[in-house]
Amino acid sequence: MKMRPLEKLFVNSDRHSNRVAMQAAQRVRRVDPEPGQRVLDVGCGNGAALIHLARAFRLEATGVDIDPDQIQVAAQGANGREGTTFLVSDATKLPLADGGFDIVYTNKTTHHVADWPNAIAEMARVLRPGGHLIYSDFTAPFGTRLPTRRGVDNAARSHGLERIRHSHSPFRYTAYFRKRVAEPVSGSAS
């Protein structure tokens, strides 16, 4: 679901964009990113947070958003920066390879997605084993169309993600998940 014009005006303001970029950097710093790692921002909007992450941590960056206008603004903001890509995409159908990202970041996106459990499944799919999903969004205290904390945790767990840190208020949830690394299959000795 695309944002309404008034919401977009607020979200794209310089003041809001700068605050969101600083919050993104604080959250990503907690997973100790290394230069050259690949980060995906699902619901990147105008790209301000992703562009800041790419510069601050020297990351290869991809942003996706369902709104072509936001992707155009993001691409203009990147100003041709090498290693930064923006794509129009539905969060429930990411056109990206399995396990291609070290960090998947999403902020205030899933409450716009009717099938938010599938969006979480897609984020898990494109995350490499050992990689991190950083999730932050509005949540409902009990079942509605909005995600719930329990629902987010269950969706993440069912797709191989282990929660390693979280914080919440009645209507906001931020969680850090790590994708489990498959245990090596032990062969039988002859």
Q: In Å, how far are 45, 51, 60, 70, 147 from 4, measured between CA atoms?
A: 13, 23, 30, 12, 20
184: left (phi over 0), alpha (psi -120 to 50) or beta: beta
> In total, how many domains does the chain have?
1
CATH number of the domain at 160, please. 3.40.50.150
Mean pLDDT computed over 74-82: 94
How far apart CA 172 and CA 148 sit, in angstroms, is 9
Q: What is the pLDDT of residues 83-123, one digit of tens each?
A: 999 999 999 999 999 999 999 999 999 999 999 999 999 99
Are 49 and 113 within 8 A, CB to CB? no
Coil, strand, or helix at residue 165? strand
Is residue 188 over pLDDT 60? Answer: no
Count the neighbouring beta carbons within 10 Å of the beta carbon of residue 34: 10
Q: What is the pLDDT of residues 7-44, one digit of tens each?
A: 888 888 999 999 999 999 999 999 999 999 999 999 99
Q: Is residue 187 part of a domain?
A: no
How far apart CA 18 and CA 78 sit, in angstroms, is 14
What tokens were used for 54?
A: 């790419």
The parent domain of residue 96 ranges over 5-179
How far apart CA 29 and CA 26 sit, in angstroms, is 5
Q: What is the pLDDT of residue 143?
A: 66
Place of tokens 């072509």: 68
Q: What is the pLDDT of residue 190?
A: 47
pLDDT band at 1 (very low <50, low <70, confident <90, very high): low
